[in-house]
Structures are given as C-alpha cells and as structure tokens.
Amino acid sequence: MTWQGWAQIAVFAALIAAVVQPLGGYIARIADGSSRVVRLFAPVETRLYRVAGIDPAEEQTWVGYALALLAFHIAGIVALYALQRLQAVLPLNPQQMDAVAPDLALNTAVSFATNTSWQSYGGETTMSYLTQMAGLVVQSFLSGASGIAVALALVRGFARRSARTIGNFWVDMTRVTLYVLLPVCIVATLILVWQGVPQTLGPYVSATTLEGATQVLARGPVASQVAIAVLSGDGGGFFNANASHPFENPTALTGMLEMLLIFLIGVALTNSFGRLVGDQRQGWALFAAMAVMFAVGLVTVYTGETTPNHAFAGFDVNQAPGLAQAGGNMEGKEVRFGPAQSALFATVSTASSDGAVDSMHDSFMPLSGLMLLSNMMLDEVIVGGPGSGLFGMLLFAIVAVFAAGLMIGRTPEYLGKKLEGNEVKMTMLALLCVPACILGLTAAAAVLPAGLVGLENAGPHGFSEALYGYTSAAATNGSAFAGLNANTIFYNLTLATAMFAGRFIVIVPVLCIAGMLAAKRIVPTSSGTLPTHGPQFVALLVGVAAIVGGLTFFPAVALGPLAELFAM
C-alpha cells in the first residue's frame, strides 16, 4: 500500500460525501414536482404524456404500478431482442455485423432491461452501432430510471398516510430520465470526449504497427454509452475490455469520473429519502451504514491486492512497491492503474449494481475475490444501483426494526409505520429470492456437464467462477470472473433466468410493501420507539445485513474463495 493509493481513495470519498446533499435535494424536488426545472419543462412533459395517452394526474395503486413496470420492461426485452436479430439488415452497421444468435440475443436483452449489463460477448465484434445506441443505451436509461422510480414509490409508502396510491410509474420514469439521467449524461459525455473517448459513427480504422503488421482499431459512439452505463448502474462496456480499454477509460481523470458516476445517484438517494419522509437524519443513517460496509470491503480488497502473491514465493520476483512499479498483485491489472485504483474501481463496481471493470476480477487474490462476491451477496445494498440500493437497504432496515421489536417486546415500527406480518413476509420474499437463484443455479452448474464445460479452471477457483457469475446476474451487477465461458446455450439461458428473477421478483414485493405502508396511519413517537437515526441503529443495520448474508452464503464461499485461500 502507498500513500498515493490512500490519497486517491480519500479524494474519491470526499467527492462522494460532498455530492450527497445537493443532488439528494434536487432529486427529492424532482420526485415531488416542486423543482423549478419541472415547472420550466412542463410543456414538454405534457406533450409526451398526450402522445402516450397518459393522464399524469392519475396515480396508481401498487398493483397498477407493478403491472405498468413489468409490461414496459417486457416490451423492452422484445424490442432489444428483435434489434439484435435483425441488425444485419438494419442501417448504422459499417462493420457488417451478423445477426446475434438467439440465445445470446435473449441473454443480452434481459441483461440490459434488468439493469444488469451482463455481457457474454465482445461489444466491438458483435453489436452494430444501431444496436449499441438504440438498444443498449436506451435500455440503460430506462432500466436505471425504473429502479429510481421503484425507490421513490417505496419512500412514498413511508411518507403517506391512509393512501391507496404510491404515484404514477410513467410520470416517475419520465421525470427521472429527463431531469436526472439525461443532463448528467450530457455533461459526462462531453468530459469523456474531451479526455479522448471516441464519439463517432465512422467505421473502424486500420493502423500499421511498428512491426509492420496491420491492426484494426475499433471505435464508435463510445462516450455516450459509457456515460449512461456507469451512471445508470448498468456498466455495459462498448468494448470487451470495458474500462481497462484506453478508448473507454483513457486517463486517471476519466477513471475517477466513472467511479463517481457509478455511486452518484445511489448515495444521493439516501438524502432524498430523508427529505421526503421529513427527517434527513434517517437518510444519513442509511448513508452511514452503506459507508461502513463499503470501507470494510475496500480496505480488505486494497490490502489483498497489495500483499505479495504467495505463488511467487519460490521465485526471484520483486513485488514491493517502488519508483518503477506499483507492487503487489499485478496479474490482471491494467498497468496504468495498478492495485490502488483497481481495488477502488472493483469495490465501487461490486458495491453498486454497475459491473464495470478496469481489471480482471478472476485474477484477484482469493480474499479480494471473496469480498467482491460478498458485496453483491448482500443484495447490492452497499450503495447499490440507482434506486435498487436504497430500496434494498430499506428492506434490511425493516428486518432490523422487526428483530429489535422482538427483542424489546414491542410491535416493530419504522418511520411511524407499524410493521406487521404481511410487510415482513413480503420483505423476506424480496430478500430470499436472490440467494435462491444464486445457490440453486450455481449448484446446477457445478454438477451438470453443460455447466462444467464452461469453467476454465478446476477446483475451488472454478467453483468461484460459476458462483460469481450467478451472483453477479441475480444481483443485477454484470461483472464476472471472466474465466467463465458464458456464451453457451446453458449459461445464456440460466443467467437470463437469474437476471430476470433477481430484478423483478424483488421489485414486485417492494411495490407491495409500498402499497401496504401507504395505507397505514402514522403512529406517534413514544418513549418506547426505537430511534432509527443514530449510531446504534446504524450498527444494528450493518449487523443484520452481515448476519443474513453470512448465514446464507458461508457454505458456498467456503467451497470457493475460502478453500482457495487456505490452499495458498
């Protein structure tokens, strides 16, 4: 570890902390319609609603909200699937890309519609410009916006009293896209272009190397895709190498910008939550819980990647940091970044639902790989994706309050709403469906020939590759231990199943909870009410998340990264 590495981490943390309150306040005003931006662009909104046949004043019950969301994204899956299958005969295909295979097209369509961006393909060799722009980029906007919309619906459930409705899905989607995602992406795209990220519809170009060989340099509308991919929690790269490619991440500034964009909305929504429920301390408590878990993960990964690799113990290899080298475990690292930025980027990526990478997670040390897995196994609540991190953390808050209520013998309540049997059942359904997908599908892949054939490694590391793949898919992350050859019919279909279930079987119970809470009255605070804004509650919340995750996944990680660690 070096002071430069810690300085980089400190700068990132300071920038994130500085943006929480101003951006959180802006999103809260967008959500309740009080922002001057909403009033300024009201004519644009009105025309969009009129064309779509939507009455923005008509709010929906949780059932109507959920049906609108599901229908919208199923239509998106069908449209993106068709675009991939027909891209060979469609325009903006200067490289004459063939149609995408049916199983891969389905996997990719589900991936981007669920905000996962799992990629079983190399973007520059598989997707046309039209597919990248009209398909993947559009779904990145829409899947990110829908996650934020669900979080806002759940917050309304806590804030409202004796209400039958939780908002209007179409209004939430429109406002988040127009006033949050689009403006930030325009600015980020311009910065990326300034730093050297391509943004062109021109064909690939050929260059002659110093050895006299010819190399084809892929390019395209890269900057606009990278901006929304990292901001929306999607993470899908234009190039197969993702953020380790110099055309996606050319400088230290772009690396820092991309990491900030990954966390930007997730952290800000904690403040939006506090404002909308009338107590900003509640939002700061959730932010503190996220920060504690993120710090534990980051320190573990950074320590692991700067520790000498024991596999080189018998060789004359200098792994100490110095003027000529970063030191530590450089296998799988982009040499421009080294262990410090790679550890930070990997932790940011897996603590969110983004999945962008600037190094090979398959080459991380076992303890680091374990921590990256753990970040996702906690249902992406350590900041998480835009919206999904907030409602995931609120699910754990419900469990924490319920457990505390049992211990002190009181009916549990959170933010003045009594939590009864139905709310707790829906919470557990939402929290357990992701582990069920991960463990069930990993078990199938570990014993079926179709699953085993996709593993590049045997033993514990091979098991970790499969476990990481399904964890990433069900947690809507999209990063990978890339030793897994996932572009097979078996993996394309099973990973698509995990992505669909991990997104929508979580969202539907969350919306149900929102509807049930909105219908309840606010219970006045009494001397026996558990405070949910102080250090005690933060500790309880972190403890509940860690215990639930540990009890659920310890046997699986013991067979994978822990077994590999002890073998070393």
Please state, as a whole number, how many other Cβ atoms lie within 10 Å of the Cβ of residue 36: 8
Give DSSP secondary structure letters for 92-138. Answer: S-TT-PPPPPHHHHHHHHHHHHTT----SS-HHHH--HHIIIIIIIH
> Is the per-residue pLDDT at 303 higher than 80?
yes
> Could you identify the residue written with the tokens 């700067």?
306
- Lowest mean per-residue pLDDT among 263-272, 348-357, 538-547: 348-357
- DSSP code of residue 414: E
> Is the per-residue pLDDT at 205 higher than 70?
yes
Question: What is the rounded distance in angstroms from the CA atom of residue 547 to the CA atom of residue 317?
Answer: 40
Predicted local confidence at residue 101, as pLDDT: 95
Determine the number of helices (DSSP H) and then strands (DSSP E) in the chain: 22, 4
pLDDT in tens, 363-416: 888 888 899 999 999 877 888 889 999 999 999 999 999 988 887 777 788 888
Question: What is the rounded distance in angstroms from the CA atom of residue 398 to the CA atom of residue 89?
Answer: 51
> Is the per-residue pLDDT at 527 higher than 80?
no
Predicted local confidence at residue 22, as pLDDT: 95
pLDDT in tens, 424-435: 999 999 999 999
> Is the per-residue pLDDT at 440 higher than 90?
yes
**pTM for the predicted model, two decimal places:** 0.94
Q: Which residues contact 167 (CB under 8 A, 6 or more apart)?
A: 59, 60, 65, 149, 152, 153, 156
Question: What is the rounded distance in angstroms from the CA atom of residue 23 to the CA atom of residue 262?
Answer: 14
Looking at the DSSP bridge assignments, the partners of residue 358 are none
Question: What is the rounded distance in angstroms from the CA atom of residue 343 to the CA atom of residue 333?
Answer: 10
> Could you identify the residue written with the tokens 């819980």?
289
pLDDT in tens, 91-149: 999 999 999 999 999 999 999 999 988 888 888 999 999 999 999 999 999 999 999 99
3-class DSSP state of 29: helix
Q: What is the mean pLDDT of residues 168-182?
A: 95
Give DSSP secondary structure letters for 127-169. Answer: --HHIIIIIIIHHHHHHHHHHHHHHHHHHHHHH-SS-S----H
Predicted local confidence at residue 188, as pLDDT: 96
> Is the per-residue pLDDT at 246 higher than 80?
yes
Residue 187's pLDDT band (boundaries 50, 70, 90)?
Answer: very high
> Is the per-residue pLDDT at 528 higher than 80?
no
Q: Which residues contact 386 (CB under 8 A, 6 or more apart)?
A: 144, 147, 148, 151, 231, 232, 233, 265, 266, 269
* pLDDT, the chain, mean: 90
Predicted local confidence at residue 441, as pLDDT: 94
Predicted local confidence at residue 324, as pLDDT: 67
Q: Which two tokens mark 476? A: 């809507």
> Is the per-residue pLDDT at 322 higher than 70?
no
Predicted local confidence at residue 326, as pLDDT: 72
pLDDT over 70, % of the chain: 99
Half-sphere exposure of residue 305, counting CA atoms within 13 Å on the CB side?
35
Residue 354's pLDDT band (boundaries 50, 70, 90)?
Answer: confident
Q: What is the mean pLDDT of residues 512-540?
A: 88
Q: Given its phi and psi angles, is residue 210 left (phi above 0), alpha (psi -120 to 50 degrees) or beta?
A: alpha
Predicted local confidence at residue 409, as pLDDT: 72
Q: Are the CB atoms for 92 and 129 separated by under 8 Å?
A: yes
Q: Which two tokens mark 229? A: 């991919």
> Is the per-residue pLDDT at 566 higher than 80?
yes
Q: Could you tell me whether strands 214-217 and 205-208 are parallel, antiparallel, or unpaired per DSSP bridges?
A: antiparallel
In terms of C-beta density within 10 A (0-12 exposed, 13-18 middle, 19 or more buried), how is residue 142 classed?
A: buried
Predicted local confidence at residue 315, as pLDDT: 75
> Is the per-residue pLDDT at 452 higher than 80?
yes
pLDDT in tens, 73-91: 999 999 999 999 999 999 9
Predicted local confidence at residue 524, as pLDDT: 80
Q: Which two tokens mark 447? A: 């014993």
Q: Are the CB atoms for 534 and 285 separated by under 8 Å?
A: yes
Give DSSP secondary structure letters for 173-237. Answer: HHHHIIIIIHHHHHHHHHHHHHTT--B--SPPEEEE-TTS-EEEE--SBHHHHHHHHHHTT----
Q: Which two tokens mark 159? A: 């804030």
Q: Are the CB atoms for 469 and 484 separated by under 8 Å?
A: yes
Q: What is the torsional sign of CA 447, 452, 457, 462?
A: negative
Question: What is the rounded distance in angstroms from the CA atom of residue 138 to the CA atom of residue 145?
Answer: 11
Residue 469's nearest CA partner among 333, 560, 342 is 560
Predicted local confidence at residue 407, as pLDDT: 79
Residue 355's pLDDT band (boundaries 50, 70, 90)?
Answer: confident
Q: Are the CB atoms for 481 and 369 separated by under 8 Å?
A: yes
Predicted local confidence at residue 21, as pLDDT: 95
Q: How far lies 384's CA from each of 130, 233, 387, 532, in Å?
A: 29, 8, 8, 21
Q: Which residues contact 475 (CB under 8 A, 6 or more apart)?
A: 353, 376, 377, 379, 380, 434, 438, 502
> Is the per-residue pLDDT at 526 higher than 90?
no
Predicted local confidence at residue 115, as pLDDT: 92
Residue 485's pLDDT band (boundaries 50, 70, 90)?
Answer: confident
Q: Which residues contact 7 (CB under 8 A, 6 or more apart)?
A: none
Residue 458's pLDDT band (boundaries 50, 70, 90)?
Answer: confident
Residue 323's pLDDT band (boundaries 50, 70, 90)?
Answer: low
